Amino acid sequence: MRVSKKPVLYSILIGLLLMTISYFFQPLMPFQSIAHRGASALAPENTLAAFEKAIELDYIELDVRLSKDKQLVVIHDANVMRTTDGEGLIEDLTVKEIKKLDAGSWFSPAYAGERIPLLNEVLKEVSGKTGIIIEMKSPENQPGMTEILANMLNSFKPDNEIKVQSFHINEIKKFHQLAPEIPAGLLLSKHLDLFHLASYREFASFLSVHHLLLSKSFINQAELFGYEIYSWTISKQYQFADMQRLGVHGIISDDEKRIPDSIIYVLITPFLKGQDFFKTLLA
């Protein structure tokens, strides 16, 4: 006995149509643009060049690690190999050694000679121009980082807002105790229940959440506790509209939103999302 495939096909088509209609009629909420490691689609990440290109956005986001001589260096990786012409761990290199490295040629010859900046250099460069979100990279493994950052920001009088975030809960709690005037937040790659949302509110005012974990219900719950919600890291243009429809407060991305929310783009968005979904499953 043969079973007709038409009902299944019709169900899929109707489902896609309903998704498209629902997607189209949900309102697009305003959001703050947060440049991931600076304008890292346009210039080498975590450099003054990348930050300068992101000045017009609401915030730049950057990463800090401690050098061998206990200075805050703006770099994402523990090893300099990926983004410079050198090699070695940041924690094993002095600032003098780090400053000799070329941090731009890997991206483009146009940025040859770009250097890894120190945090205090970035603060001076962008003060009064845009907000800054500083991520402490592995502070639990770098003794003194949290204290050094708190002391620096307590003594720095910015003309723009500065925020600090980390995946490490205890270090963010410590940072809040040392610098209570500086907004602190948690980076999340897993779900939080209501108990944790309530308990973390004592020291965190915002949550930076992986975009695949976000839902309207989670955002509504978090807002009840007074959190701002930022999504990371948005890499596809259609995902901007997804995040706006969820109502996130900020979007962390390598590139700014450029594609207009046209009817044609809305119609093909479910197919783009489906394609990305299957790529994720097969990866």
Active site residues: 36, 76
Distance CA 154, CA 132 (A): 15
Size of the chain in residues: 283
Distance CA 126, CA 2 (A): 68
Query: Looking at this protein, which amino acid is placed at residue 58?
Result: D
Query: Looking at this protein, which amino acid is placed at residue 227?
Result: Y
The number of beta carbons lying within 10 Å of the beta carbon of residue 266 is: 16
Query: What contacts 160, CB < 8 A, 6 or more positions away?
Result: 126, 127, 128, 129, 130, 131, 132
Distance CA 193, CA 205 (A): 16
DSSP state of 181: T
Distance CA 120, CA 174 (A): 21
DSSP state of 118: B
Q: What would the two tokens of residue 50 be?
A: 């990348």
165, 132 Cβ separation under 8 angstroms: no
* Element containing residue 53 per DSSP (H, E): helix 48-53
For residues 18, 189, 209, 276, the Cα torsion angle rounded to the nearest 10 degrees is -40
